[in-house]
Amino acid sequence: MKAPIGVFDSGYGGLTILDAIRRQLPQYDYLYLGDNARAPYGPRSFGVVYEFTRQAVAQLFHMGCHLVVLACNTASAKALRTIQQRDLPQWDPQRRVLGIIRPTAEAIGSITSTRHIAIMATEGTVRSQSYEMEIAKLHPDISVTGVACPFWVPLVEYNEATSPGADYFVQKYIGQMMEADPLIDAAILGCTHYPLLMPKIMHYMPQQVQVIAQGGYVARSLADYLQRHPEMEQRCSKGGQTRYLTSENPERFAQLAQRFLNETVSAAHIDLRENDNYTFNH
């Protein structure tokens, strides 16, 4: 049975990933699920993030998805591996869950000349050291500096990304980054909200530092994955449609989603706590 590609995020930032994926692969159907009622995931423990992410993936599988993208850095950092190793073999070995950290980690090797880079992310992602571990496996010669930017997400969600007040916090964290390592020549935006601050980030970022948003890399990586796995590609439906689910108020979701997608959407409410015991048809 053909089904949409599932895209999951704890909140709204994953919509920037969805947007990039749809630009690259507009022919497919997508089912976006935001666990907005329990966001943010960043400050939560590994165990809680795993449990919440597991419930969301189970929901998307239950609704027919064969392939799910975790469009969330925290979920990719704290839950992806356990779901891939522990849950998928029990649920259905034919299904797949992909994260968004590896595609950027793979690309960074051909971007940096100084071999000194920064990860600008939430405190949870920086603390998890997920980017550092992934980059160390692929490019052991690259030095990585993690920079927590705790005020950037609220600036986006409270519609302050273009306000004069945002300048202070954007300048502050970029300053901390360059102070920590003046040799940095590439900065990965390791949070899916941050592209909405891009005009300010580009304004204050030193000229020699290349800014890397994840969306394009994730989209190209997914296109490559589908090309290399025709058996999965054939199970993805192609109608160019996107549906939205949220664990929060659908009207609020639609209102905020518009900021990320520049289009009007409608969403349906879903309770993720009810679905722990799904069985899946192989």
Joined tokens for residue 276: 């722990």
**Coil, strand, or helix at residue 199?**
helix
Please, what's the b/e burial string for 88-119 (b: 16 or more CB within 10 A of its CB; e: otherwise)? Answer: beebeeebbbbbbbbbbbebbeeebeeebbbb
Rg of the Cα atoms in the chain: 18
Residue at 16: amino acid letter:
T
How far apart, in whole angstroms, are the C-alpha atoms of residue 28 and residue 46?
A: 32
Which of the following is catalytic: 65, 72, 149, 236? Answer: 72
**Coil, strand, or helix at residue 7?**
strand
Consecutive H or E run containing 84: none
**Coil, strand, or helix at residue 260?**
helix
Which of the following is catalytic: 65, 149, 191, 236? Answer: 191
Joined tokens for residue 101: 């950290």
Strand bridging mode 67-70 / 30-34: unpaired
Q: How many residues in the chain?
A: 282
Instruction: List, in sequence order, the alpha helices (H) in the chain.
Output: 14-24, 46-62, 73-78, 80-82, 88-91, 101-108, 123-128, 130-138, 152-157, 164-180, 198-204, 214-228, 230-233, 250-261
Would residue 72 show up in a list of annotated catalytic residues for this protein?
yes
Other Cβ atoms within 10 Å of 154 Cβ, number: 12
Q: What are the catalytic residues?
A: 72, 191
